[in-house]
Amino acid sequence: MKLHDSCVQQTWLVGDQQDNSVYELSQAGEQALTNLGIDVDLTRQSRRRFACTCLDWSERRPHLGGALGAALLALSLKHKWLERDLDSRALSLTREGKKQFQRHFAIVI
């Protein structure tokens, strides 16, 4: 949820005027995510929606869903910023993840 909020606050994600649950990337957002190593064009070609809000079932707040959310998750797991809990769907933020989320997304945890 903090990632979603940060991307909106930094105006990386721009809401669709007709459907505020759907997002597109601003130029700044596209550049920032490309610099992180996300292939934005390839992500847009996914069969799932590109970027949208998705209500978190536990906290009842939106997080970033769609192909872009999945790409950010994959990037975070690849770089070991997040780790999966073996017995659930839960994720844990690593020490390196705390540093990188602050550096790249202005998220302080």
| Residue 82, pLDDT score | 95
Helix axes 95-105, 2-9, angle to 10 degrees: 20
| Residue 22, pLDDT score | 87
CA dihedral defined by 15, 21, 23, 29, rounded to 10 degrees? 80
Q: Which long-range contacts (CB under 8 A, 24 or more apart) does 94-102 make?
A: 101/2, 101/3
Q: Is the pLDDT of residue 89 over 90?
A: no
What pTM was computed for the model?
0.87
Q: From CA 68, how far away is CA 94, in angstroms rounded?
A: 21
